[in-house]
Structure 1
Amino acid sequence: MAEGWIRSLELHFQYLKMRDGDWVRCDTYMLRDDAFLWWEGAAHGVDLDTLTWSQFKEIFCKKYFPAVVKVRLMWEFTSLRQGDSTVAEFFRKFDRGCHFVTLISRDVAQKLSQFMDGLRPTLCRNVIQKSLTSYDEATACDF
């Protein structure tokens, strides 16, 4: 939920062509309930005049997206299998998982390999027969 909130704010801020410092001020203004109380305490440890969006996200993620959650998401991604899912559903889950495992998502060959590991064997053979070399090619492929 926290990750989705950050992403939606970033889309709004980009659309509005806001400057980095304005992102932080706008974001902290929009905090509610427990997040607002957390920020009141966390803000004492930073210089609000120079705090960048990246720095804010790092502080925010330490609180709402701790390392144990990242490890769990990485494990879920590396063990992701298509099973009874449609190819479209598997693509969606795979793309979401790539967001959390950047080492795989940035390596074209590794990304395709991880994707193929999760596909049903019959579909994996289709990818091999078509000599696809990247995940992007696989997403454009008609299964």
Structure 2
Amino acid sequence: MRLTEQEKVLCASFALKKDARHWWRTVQMRRDVTTMSWQDFVSEFRTMYFNREILAAQQDEFTSLRQGTMTVMEAINKFEQLARLCPELVPGETEKVRLMMKMFRSDIAKQVSAGDSPPTRVSDCISRAIRAEYWINRDKEERAQFFKAKKEEKAMGKQTQPRQNFEMNQKGSAKKLPSEKDCSWK
């Protein structure tokens, strides 16, 4: 299906959302868009959204992106968003995996790259990172529960010495463990 120049402009403008839609309204106010060519539209759009300063800022943000407090999925979504804006920085799958690994927190990256073969595909890198995050969070929760229980035991005044050392009888005095000769079968 072939579209005229004006039909291309109409279709593209219809697809604009949020800030881009507001930008388009300002373009409509200052010029006659019914006769606008596709090249004029692209030029206007690039001037607004792809000027050198904005591109440089997006490239800097992309190359310095770190996971920090984001979840793996939040970081991946941000990574993909910036990668779409800077396609020249991610020429292939290998480079995308390398940049993604650089983005992850070290605890995640260590687990993702562990094993005989580090990830070479983006999908493998993502699934390993999600799995690593799950196990790291599970480990943190278990440790938190353990230390919470220890703190509660201490607050309640319970003794935390090993059971092998002594047992308490009902009156609270120490009860000696049976000796070897008491346990003989003779």
Taking structure 1 as the reference length, what is the TM-score of the superposition? 0.67
- Please state if 1:135 is matched with 2:127: no
Task: State the distance in 2 between where 1:134 and 1:65 align.
Answer: 29
Structure 1 unaligned blocks of 5 or more: 1-16
- CA-CA distance at 1:68 after TM superposition: 0.5
Task: State the SS of the aligned residue for 1:81.
Answer: coil
**Pair 1:100 & 2:85 matched:** yes
Q: Bigger relative contact order, structure 1 or 2, given CA contacts below 8 A and separation 6+?
A: 1
The one of 115, 121, 124 aligned to 2:109: 124
More helix per residue: 1
C-alpha deviation, 1:62, in angstroms: 1.4
Q: Which runs of 5+ in 2 are unaligned?
A: 15-20, 133-186
Q: How many residues align?
A: 118
What is the RMSD of the two structures over their aligned residues, measured on CA atoms?
2.8
Deviations, residues 81-120 of structure 1 (Å, cap 9, x unaligned):
0001100100111000101221233321111111111111
Shift of 1:129: 1.5
The reply to whether residue 112 of structure 1 matches residue 104 of structure 2 is: no
Instruction: Name the stretch that deviates more: 124-133 or 83-92.
Output: 124-133
Which entry has the higher C-alpha Rg, 1 or 2?
2
SS of the equivalent of 2:70 reads coil
Quote how far apart the aligned CAs of 1:80 are. 0.4
Residues 133-142 or 77-86, more deviating: 133-142
CA distance in 1, matches of 2:4, 2:69: 44
